[in-house]
């Protein structure tokens, strides 16, 4: 037993040393850290991103992504800033973003929307259960840095929040405001009309830099662009449903050329060809929320 544990420890040390070397370059194929503005940084694990803010009294971290990613990040933060994570904030309860929270729970207060906590407990998510929850707004202050957490209504989930760093004018929003990309697949777990309303609320917030949970960093105008996309898609699908077209016919017919350059609009890789899936999700939603003659 003791030997096994020692071997494991040396393996972990070796891994951290390896990743530590990577950290100085700030990137490898799987993970990297880049500075967004001021004390706000962005952490990438493959195609998933979270942000963190470094203050003189500790670090405010967000989505841990998964246990392995969180362990890498924890080691990198220790090496670079020599500061513990004091807060860990979940963007929403989906497991691909918030698994592994237990890695930070030794030093961090875990924060989420109250509905996120209910689902984390109910679904037995593999992460730390939030210690602190809220319904509409919450402000967290640490070492002179403030992050404002706001619930914008239901959208990609019923518990997604946005995190605003007023000093850096950064907004972190996960999975419901892609930057120059169509929506992910078929609007699973989505509230489409409320989603469009929640985008309008985000457009009224005061920030310049939009950091999504996937894809590239954008600006506040990208919120408006994605809302326009959803509204255009909604209108087109509703029109074709009223005209009696089948889903297959719609997928053949509906084109939104304004968005043809966006990620996921068209791809030869069927897994990344999301626009026809967006049509299918919108079709399903409209069929469920409409009563024909
Ligand atoms: Zn999600």
Helices then strands (H, E): number in the chain?
8, 13
Taking 70 as the threshold, does the pLDDT of residue 5 lie above it?
no
Cα–Cα nearest to 262, from 293, 232, 292: 232
According to DSSP, residue 263 is labeled B
CB 73 within 8 A of CB 84: no
For 45, the 3-state DSSP assignment is strand
Instruction: Supply the pLDDT for residue 28.
Output: 67
Cα 57 to middle of ligand 1, angstroms: 30
Interval between CA 257 and ligand 1 midpoint (Å): 27
pLDDT, position 6: 46
Q: What is the dihedral of CA 91, 92, 96, 97, to 10 degrees?
A: 10
Neighbours of 83 (CB within 10 A): 16
**Fold entry, domain 1-168:** Metallo-beta-lactamase; Chain A (3.60.15)
Q: What is the pLDDT of residues 126-176, one digit of tens each?
A: 999 999 999 999 999 999 999 999 999 999 999 999 999 999 999 999 999
CB distance 60 to 81 below 8 Å: no
**What pLDDT shows up at residue 29?**
78
pTM recorded for the entire structure: 0.89
Q: Does the pLDDT of residue 249 top 80, yes or no?
A: yes
State pLDDT tens for residues 22-60.
343 356 679 999 999 999 999 999 999 999 999 999 999
- Please give the distance, rounded to the nearest whole angstrom, from the Cα atom of residue 91 to the centre of ligand 1: 9
How far away, in angstroms, is 175 Cα from ligand 1 center?
A: 5
Question: pLDDT at residue 120 above 50?
Answer: yes
Span(s) in the chain for CATH 3.60.15.10: 1-168
């Amino acid at each position: 037993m003791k030997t096994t544990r020692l071997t494991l420890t040396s393996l972990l040390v070796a891994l951290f040393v390896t990743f530590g070397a990577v950290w100085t370059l700030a990137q490898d194929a799987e993970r990297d850290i880049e500075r967004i503005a001021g004390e706000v940084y962005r952490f990438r694990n493959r195609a998933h991103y979270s942000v963190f803010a470094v203050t003189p009294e500790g670090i405010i971290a967000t989505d841990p992504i998964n246990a392995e990613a969180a362990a890498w990040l924890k080691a990198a933060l220790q090496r670079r800033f020599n500061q513990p994570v004091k807060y860990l904030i979940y963007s929403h309860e989906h497991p691909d973003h918030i698994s592994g929270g237990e890695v930070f729970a030794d030093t961090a207060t875990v924060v989420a929307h109250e509905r996120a906590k209910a689902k984390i407990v109910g679904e037995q998510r593999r992460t730390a259960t939030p210690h602190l929850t809220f319904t509409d707004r919450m402000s967290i202050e640490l070492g002179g840095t403030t992050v404002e957490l706001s619930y914008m209504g239901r959208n990609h989930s019923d518990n997604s929040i946005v995190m605003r760093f007023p000093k850096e004018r950064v907004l972190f929003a996960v999975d419901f405001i892609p930057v120059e990309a169509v929506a992910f697949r078929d609007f699973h777990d989505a509230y489409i009309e409320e989603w469009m309303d929640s985008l309008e609320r985000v457009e009224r917030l005061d920030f310049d830099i939009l950091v999504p949970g996937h894809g590239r960093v954008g600006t506040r105008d990208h919120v408006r662009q994605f809302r326009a996309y959803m509204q255009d898609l909604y209108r087109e699908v509703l029109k074709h449903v009223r005209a009696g077209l089948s889903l297959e016919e719609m997928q053949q017919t509906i084109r939104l050329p304004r968005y043809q350059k966006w990620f996921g609009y068209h791809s030869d890789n069927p897994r990344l060809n999301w626009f026809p899936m967006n049509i299918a999700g919108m079709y399903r939603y409209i069929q469920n929320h409409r009563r024909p003659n």
